[in-house]
Structure 1
Amino acid sequence: MSEVRVRQAAPEDHDRIHPVLDDWWGRPIASVLQSLFLDHFFDTSFVADDEQGLAGFLVGFLSPARPEVAYVHFIGVRPDLRRSGLAADLYDRFFDLARRNGRTEVWAITAPVNERSIAFHRALGFDVTIQPNGPVRFRRPL
């Protein structure tokens, strides 16, 4: 495995991330990540690259309405790098950023069909709430 470099995202990273989403997820999902997320929240988001190109990303933000909450809108890792620790590393970086900004909780959601995401978030210490006919909600104290 090549060295993975993680950096703060930039607005133009949307043009690299958006085209891989449906392929990485194996289903239509790209519409969930509009460019506005990286236009406005690039400074709280991360991109990982290796010699093959885009290795992963985390798009998150500090909630303007809930001063205790930081929210992860989207996280993805290239399929060949899953189970490498990259997703956990991206989350650790976001947890640190959230703590430095006075946040005490991190929230996220996923679709009920995304069983890998549910298991992953549980392993990271998130509380999981499965709602009938709604998204699966994650909440983790920092």
Structure 2
Amino acid sequence: MPGAAYVHVIGVDPAHRGQRIGRWLHEQFATTASRRGATVVRCITSPGNRASVAFHTRLGFEVEPSATLVDGVAVQSDYDGPGLDRVCFVRDLSRQPGVGAGRPGSVAGDGGEDA
């Protein structure tokens, strides 16, 4: 999709969660993607990963709509193959200026912890 950047995986060692590292990595990616012409960032997570859904929502991602719900969250059926449903997120970079500033723990306007 033109104008879209895709995050395949960002993982933070559980011993280092809560230090805003995941948030910082996402913001750096979004800044780089925006500078290269992306207008949205997309990513996915597993339906049962409630911490990931909450984390991405705090970052400004929106769950893409679907008629299929798992635990009240819209999922894309068979996204990664038969029986492998995924929550699909999209983040509109044009509505979130200034992404990517600072270092881990210093992202402006941040009120949450990373998962």
TM-score (norm 2): 0.64
Aligned mate of 2:30, from 91, 95, 98: 95
Q: Distance in 2 between matches of 1:132 and 1:107?
A: 13
Report how far residue 132 of structure 1 moved: 6.2
1:67 Cα offset (Å): 2.2
Q: Which amino acid aligns with 1:104?
A: T
* Whole-angstrom CA distance in 2 between matches of 1:89 and 1:137: 20
Q: Which runs of 4+ in 1 moved over 6 A?
A: none
Find the aligned partners of 1:131 and 1:99 in 2 and give their Cα distance: 26
Distance 1:123 1:113 in 2: 17
Spell out, residue by residue over 1:49-107, the C-alpha distance to the aligned partner (whole angstroms, 9 max, x if none): xxxxxxxxxxxxxxxxx221000010100101111100000001001110110000000
1:140 partnered with 2:75: no
Q: Which runs of 5+ in 2 are unaligned?
A: 65-73, 78-84, 94-115
Whichever structure has more strand as a proportion of its residues is 1
Structure 2 distance, partners of 1:74, 1:109, is 9
Q: Deviations over 1:27-55 (max 9, x none)?
A: xxxxxxxxxxxxxxxxxxxxxxxxxxxxx
Equivalent AA in structure 2 for residue 76 of structure 1: G
* Structure 1 stretch displaced more, 109-118 or 123-132: 123-132
Greater per-residue helix proportion: 1
Q: Which of residues 65, 79, 86 is equivalent to 2:21? A: 86
- Equivalent-residue separation in structure 1 for 2:76 and 2:22 (angstroms): 27
Counterpart amino acid of residue 131 in structure 1: V
RMSD: 1.1
Q: Describe how 1:115-126 pairs up with structure 2 within 5 A.
A: 115-126=50-61
- Structure 1 match to 2:5: 70
Partner in structure 1 of residue 107 of structure 2: none
In structure 1, how many angstroms separate the alpha carbons of the residues matched to 2:62 and 2:6?
14
Q: What residue is the counterpart of 2:75 in the other structure? A: 131
User: How do 1:30-45 and structure 2 match up within 5 A?
Assistant: none
Higher relative contact order (CA closer than 8 Å, sequence separation 6+): 2
Q: TM-score, normalised by structure 1?
A: 0.52
The answer for unaligned runs of 5 or more in structure 1 is 1-65
